[in-house]
Amino acid sequence: MGKRKHGFNWKSRQQNDTVVDRSEEKKIKLDLGDDGKSTTDDSNVLALPSEKRQTKVKVTEDKPVKKLTKKERKRLQKIIEQKEKKAKRAALLESLAQVQASDKEMRQYKSITDVYTGKEKRSAISKEGKADSGINVVTGSNRKKIDESDDDEKNDDSDSSLHTSDMSTDEEDEEDEKKGDKADEKNDLSSTKNDFKRPEDGGEEQTKEGKCNTEAQKNVLHSKSDSKQNVKKEEKISTCPTINIPVKRKQEIQDARLKLPILGEEQVVMETINENPVTIICGETGSGKTTQVPQFLYEAGYAHTNGIIGVTEPRRVAAISMSYRVATEMNLTNREVSYQIRYEGNVTEDTKIKFMTDGVLLKEVQKDFLLTKYSAVIIDEAHERSVYTDILIGLLSRIVPLRHKRGNPLKLIIMSATLRVEDFTENQVLFKTPPPVISVDSRQFPVTIHFNKRTPLDNYLNEAYKKVCKIHRMLPEGGILVFVTGQQEVHTLCKKLKQTFPVQSQSEKCGNTKRKKKGGAQKTKVENLPTINLDNYSVEPVDEEAEREGDVDSDLDLGDDGNLDDDDVNMISSDGESHQSCTEPLYVLPLYSLLSTEKQAKVFSPPPGGHRLCVVATNVAETSLTIPNIKYVVDTGKAKMKFYDKVTGVSTFKIVWTSKAAANQRAGRAGRMGPGHCYRLYSSAVFNDEFEQFSPPEITRRPVDDLVLQMKDMSIDKVINFPFPTPPDVEQVRAAEKLLISLGALTTPPKPVRFKDTKKDPVCRITPLGKAMANFPVSPHYAKMLALGHQHDLLPYVVAIVSALSVQELFIEFHTSTDETSEKSSFKEKIKFITQVKKLWAGKDHSLLLGDLMVLLKAVGAAEYQGCTPQFCDKHGIRYKAMKEVRKLRAQLTNSVNSVMPDTNLCVDPKLTPPTDLQAKLLRQIVLSGLSDHVARRYPDPPPDADEETKRKHAYQCTEIEEPVFIHPLSVLYKQKPEYIVYQYMQETSKIYMKGISAIEPEWLPVFASYHCTLSKPLDDPEPDYDEVKGQVMCHMTSTFSRCVWAVPAVRLEYPRSIDKYKWFARFLLEGRVVKNLWKYKDDLLSKPATMVKSWAKLQPRTEVLLKTLISREVDNKEALMKAWQEDKSYLLSAYCEWIPQAQHFLIEANWPPVT
- Give me the DSSP letters along 733-775: HHHHHHHHHHTTSBPPPPPPSSSGGGGSPPP-PBPHHHHHHHT
Strand-pair category, 437-440 with 278-283: parallel
What is the three-class DSSP state of 1038? Answer: strand
Domain limits of the chain? 251-440, 447-695, 700-773, 775-924, 1004-1054, 1059-1150
pLDDT score of 592: 86
Query: Which has more pLDDT, 1090 or 624?
Result: 1090
CA distance 377 to 302: 10
Alpha helices in 866-945 (DSSP H): 870-875, 880-900, 917-930
Contact 1045/1016 with Cβ under 8 angstroms?
A: no
pLDDT tens, residue by residue, 559-590: 333 443 433 333 333 333 333 344 578 899 99
Q: What letter would DSSP give residue 746?
A: B
Can you say whether residue 792 is alpha, beta or left, with left for phi > 0 and alpha for psi between -120 and 50 degrees?
Answer: left
User: Which tens digit of pLDDT belongs to each residue from 830-873?
Assistant: 888 888 888 899 888 889 999 999 999 999 999 988 888 888 88
Q: What are phi and psi of 891, to 5 degrees?
A: -65, -40
| pLDDT for res 285 | 72
Nearest in space to 290 (alpha carbons), one of 517, 623, 562? 623
pLDDT value at 319 more than 80: yes
The verdict on whether omega for the bond into residue 1101 sits within 30 degrees of 0, i.e. cis, is no
CATH code reported for the domain at 700-773:
1.10.10
Percentage of the residues of the chain whose pLDDT score is greater than 70: 73
Split at pLDDT 50, 70, 90, the class of 61 is low
CATH number, domain 251-440: 3.40.50.300
What is residue 1086's DSSP assignment?
S
> What's the pLDDT score for residue 241?
59
Model pLDDT, residue 113: 54
- Give pLDDT, residue 381: 86
Q: How far apart are CA 831 and CA 828, in angstroms?
A: 5
Query: What region does 1064 belong to: left with phi over 0, alpha with psi -120 to 50, or beta?
Result: alpha
Helix ranges (H only) for 613-714 are: 660-668, 684-689, 705-713
Q: If pLDDT is split at 50, 70 and 90, which confidence band does 688 have?
A: very high
Asked if the bond preceding 1154 is cis, omega within 30° of 0, the reply is no
Residues 411, 275 contacting (CB under 8 angstroms):
no
Could you tell me if residue 654 is left (phi over 0), alpha (psi between -120 and 50 degrees) or otherwise beta?
A: beta
End-to-end CA distance of the chain: 89
Q: Hey, is 509 helix, strand or coil?
A: helix
Q: CA 1132 from chain center: how many Å?
A: 58
According to the model, what pLDDT value does residue 120 have?
46
Which residues, other chains included, contact 759 with Cβ-Cβ below 8 Å and sequence gap of 6+? none
Which among 995, 862, 1000 has a CA at the least distance from the CA of 920?
1000
| Secondary structure (3-state) at 471 | helix
Instruction: Identify any residues that bridge with 379 across adjacent strands, giving them in sequence order.
Output: 312, 414
pLDDT, mean over the chain: 77
**HSE-up (13 A, CA, CB side) for residue 126:** 18
CB 351 within 8 A of CB 335: yes
For residue 483, what is the DSSP state? Answer: E
pLDDT of 1006 higher than 80: yes
Residues 291 and 296: their CA atoms lie apart, in Å, by 9
- Cα 932 from chain centroid (whole Å): 28
Helix/strand/coil (H/E/C) assignment for every residue in 266-291:
HHHHHHHHHHCCEEEEEECCCCCHHH
- Nearest-CA neighbor of 379 among 283, 299, 280, 468? 280
pLDDT at 948 (0 to 100): 58
Q: For the ranges 169-173, 368-372, 802-806, 1031-1035, which has the lowest average pLDDT?
A: 169-173
β-pairing verdict for 676-680 and 651-657: unpaired
Cβ–Cβ under 8 Å, residues 352 and 309:
yes
Task: Report d(CA 836, CA 822) in Å as an integer.
Answer: 21
| Helical ranges in 538-659 per DSSP H | 544-549, 566-575, 579-583, 597-600
Interval 774-825: pLDDT, tens: 888 889 999 999 998 888 888 999 999 999 999 888 888 775 544 555 566 7
Q: Which residues pair with 308 in a beta bridge?
A: 374
Question: Is the backbone peptide bond immediately before 1022 cis, with ω within 30 degrees of 0?
Answer: yes
What was the pLDDT predicted at 633?
94
> Would you put residue 1118 in left (φ > 0), alpha (ψ -120 to 50) or beta?
alpha
Pair 678, 471: CB distance under 8 Å: no
- In angstroms, what is the C-alpha Rg of the chain? 44
Q: Inform me whether the pLDDT recorded for 210 exceeds 50.
A: no
Q: Is residue 529 pLDDT above 90, yes or no? A: no
pLDDT one-digit tens code per residue, 86-118: 888 888 888 888 888 777 777 777 665 555 444
- Pairwise CA distance, residues 657 & 547, whole Å: 27
Query: How sure is the predictor about 39, in pLDDT bands with cuts at 50, 70 and 90?
Result: low
Distance, CA of 431 to chain centre: 16
The reply to whether domains 447-695 and 700-773 share a CATH topology is: no
Angle between helices 141-154 and 171-193 (to 10 degrees): 100
Torsion 1081-1083-1087-1091 (CA) sign = positive
Residues 6+ apart with CB under 8 A from 470: 552, 553, 556
Angle at 508 between CA 507 and CA 510, to 5 degrees: 65
Each residue of 593-645: pLDDT tens digit? 778 777 888 888 888 888 889 999 988 877 656 788 899 999 999 888 877 67
Mean pLDDT on 1062-1075: 92
Mean pLDDT, residues 919-947: 84
Q: ∠508-511-517 over CA atoms, to 5°?
A: 135
1026: helix, strand or coil? strand
DSSP 8-state symbol, 774: H
Structurally, what CATH architecture does the domain formed by 447-695 represent? Answer: 3-Layer(aba) Sandwich (3.40)
Angle at 215 between CA 214 and CA 221, to 5 degrees: 95
CA distances (Å), 103 to each of 109, 157, 1006, in order? Answer: 10, 8, 104
Better-scored residue on pLDDT, 166 or 287: 287
Chain centroid to Cα 962, Å, comes to 33
DSSP state of 198: P
The answer for 202, left when phi > 0, alpha when psi is -120 to 50, beta otherwise, is: left
